[in-house]
Amino acid sequence: MSQQNPAPYGTPPPPPPTAEQLAAYPVYRPIVTYTLIGICVAVYLIQMATQTLLGVDLPAALGVKANNLIEQGQVWRLFTPIFLHGYILHVAFNMYALFNLGPTLEKFYGRWRFLALFLISGFAGNVLSFMFSPYQSLGSSTAIFGLLGAEGVLIYQNRELFGNIARRALSQVVFFAVINLVIGLTPGARIDNWGHIGGLLGGLLFAWFGGPLLQKQGLFPPYSLANARSQREVILAGVGVGALFSFLTIAVIFMRGG
């Protein structure tokens, strides 16, 4: 999430182990991931077009995270920054990270659960930014940090299934998250670290209570994988995390208005 400049992502960690060594998993097309990338790129092109033709970045003007406008009731600004970007490198880095993280997570989560993870993470990041950062900001890195947290939870909660490579993959996820948070603390970086932290927390919470719990099925290899997490648990996780950050938003608006 950038306040003005693009977030300088490092190289994303490799996707978490797919457990292909242990189970045969169906071929999956990450439609939601590619759709989200397409939306972000299309919105950025509209931003560039309005900037050129009208002299103002109209989508950003209508959707950037701006605390004073959120306090006036424009709460959609806690979601719309997810699809807005400030510069070509900003959108390029974020889409590269989404392209690396999204397909594997969507494969294990399924399309609708993955979409919920992305939106809840982005919302949580913008809420924490609204709480602690006075600056305007935009960018999908709030949601991407949530995906990063969810990847870590996926590996940890299914570490017995993934075997020896789980610890190495988890270490890479933690390293990548820490490095990018440290970059955000660099003087002059102008990166909204509160948004990143909020997205990470939102993704961790949703993934911990609603992420896939994988089980092997079958007596002989190749095994199949089944998700033991019920749809009811996923819905409760989504509603719970969404309600938590909604409550924080309402509380902050009330306190500032008072």
The predicted-structure confidence for 35-93, as pLDDT tens digits, reads as follows 999 999 999 999 999 999 999 999 999 999 999 999 999 999 999 999 999 999 899 98
- Whether residue 102 contacts residue 30, with contact meaning beta carbons closer than 8 Å, is answered with yes
The DSSP output letter for 11 is P
Residue 160 CB neighbour total at 10 angstroms: 9
Q: Which of 2, 85, 90, 196 is catalytic?
A: 196
Active-site annotation holds for 90:
no
In this structure, whether the domain defined by 31-257 belongs to CATH 1.10.10.10 is answered with no
Q: Which of 137, 141, 230, 246 is catalytic?
A: 141
Q: Please indicate whether residue 85 or residue 17 has the higher confidence score (pLDDT).
A: 85
The predicted-structure confidence for 140-165, as pLDDT tens digits, reads as follows 999 999 999 999 999 899 888 877 77
The predicted-structure confidence for 88-107, as pLDDT tens digits, reads as follows 989 998 999 999 899 989 99
Instruction: Tell me the one-letter amino acid at 243.
Output: A
Among 136, 100, 97, which residue's Cα sits nearest to residue 8?
Answer: 97
The predicted-structure confidence for 222-247, as pLDDT tens digits, reads as follows 667 788 899 999 999 999 999 999 99
Active-site annotation holds for 141:
yes
Spell out the domain ranges in the chain: 31-257
pTM of the shown model:
0.87
Strand partners, 138: 2
Q: Which token pair is 42?
A: 């299309």
What percent of the chain has pLDDT above 90? Answer: 65
Q: pLDDT band at 18, cuts 50/70/90?
A: very low
In the block, tokens 């982005």 appear at 122
pLDDT-wise least confident of 5-14, 118-127, 194-203: 5-14
